[in-house]
Structure 1
Amino acid sequence: MKMKMRTGADRLRHTVGFELCGMLLSVPLLSLVTGQGATHLGALAIGFALLAAGWNYLYNLGVDHLMLRVLGRLEKRLAERVLHALLFEVGFLLIALPLTAWWLGISLWQALLLDIGMALFYVVYAFVYNLAYDRLFPLMPAGRPTRC
């Protein structure tokens, strides 16, 4: 059965929800790990959330087009979900590393270790969030209206 791609509004809902929930979970955790104030880390988290939102939108749009072209489907199997989450985080890590070091006043090595820890957190979070999102807002067969 041919599935309909997600609408722009659906992608926006997905992205905003992902970033808000991720921030609410990650800022207190990061504050505990670094000993830095939640306000300072919150500003970094907001900046990263905006950056990640743009990356999330572009990445998922590209993955959907690639899946349709190569696999002829949009539904992700377990291994594809794991790969999807890992590749998203690797791409974002390359963007976030120099910004983390600068904002927190730490070395690139320390920033790398911190970013790897956060990336591992977000790999698990992205897997759970995307699985839950797809169950709450399933893809619709082509020709049927989407819920959004």
Structure 2
Amino acid sequence: MRSWGERLLHTTLFEAGGLLMATPLASWLTGHGIAQMGMLTVVLATFAMLWNLVWNRLFDHWVPTRKRSLMQRIAQSLGFEVGLLVMTLPGVAWWLDMGLIEAFWLDLGFMLFFMVYALVFNTLFDVWMRRRLAQGGG
């Protein structure tokens, strides 16, 4: 079982990487300014960090191993992204002054991007932690 400290490290690194990639990409795709998009992505990242802690802690209970299959990793990523999409869609539509359907398609594109990102990140993070733990790095 992963500790809260490990989950906090995991989610902080994940969201920082996501912000660095998503903010300029979202600004470019939507035509909204980098400041407006930056504020939205910071709020979404903060919300996502909280959801990430909760979701991954639940997933750890359901699948209590560091060696997860590809299907388990896909389920982990998909569950996180669908939950986040459902919870944040109204706020995204309001902030960007667009309809729910337009915001849904925008969010869906980012959901797909972040699913791939999460799959790669989570795999690499687990490999790094297994090595660290094997070396006695706690």
TM range (shorter): over 0.9
How far the C-alpha of 1:115 sits from its partner, in A, is: 0.4
Aligned with residue 108 of structure 1, among 100, 105, 119:
100
Q: Which structure has the greater CA radius of gyration?
A: 1
How far the C-alpha of 1:146 sits from its partner, in A, is: 5.4
Query: Partner letter of residue 62 of structure 2?
Result: L
Question: Is 2:2 the partner of 1:10?
Answer: no
Which residue in the other structure is 2:124 paired with? 132
Question: Is 2:22 the partner of 1:26?
Answer: yes
Task: Please give the per-residue CA displacement for 1:59-117, whole angstroms capped at 9, x wherever unaligned.
Answer: 0000111224xxxx453111111111111111110011101000000000100010000
Q: Distance in 1 between matches of 2:101 and 2:107?
A: 10
Structure 2: gaps spanning 5 or more residues: none
SS at match of 2:49: helix
Aligned with residue 59 of structure 1, among 55, 60, 68:
55
What's the TM-score, normalizing by structure 2? 0.92
How far the C-alpha of 1:9 sits from its partner, in A, is: 1.3
Query: Structure with the greater relative contact order (CA < 8 A, sep ≥ 6): 1 or 2?
Result: 1
How many pairs are equivalent? 137
Structure 1: gaps spanning 5 or more residues: none
Q: In the TM superposition, what are the counterparts of 1:66-105 in structure 2 within 5 Å?
A: 66-68=62-64, 73-105=65-97
Q: Equivalent pairs: percent with the same residue?
A: 38
What's the TM-score, normalizing by structure 1? 0.86
Alignment RMSD (CA, Å): 1.7
Aligned with residue 40 of structure 2, among 31, 40, 44:
44
**Structure 1 outlier segments of 4+, above 4 Å:** none
Query: Partner letter of residue 114 of structure 1?
Result: L
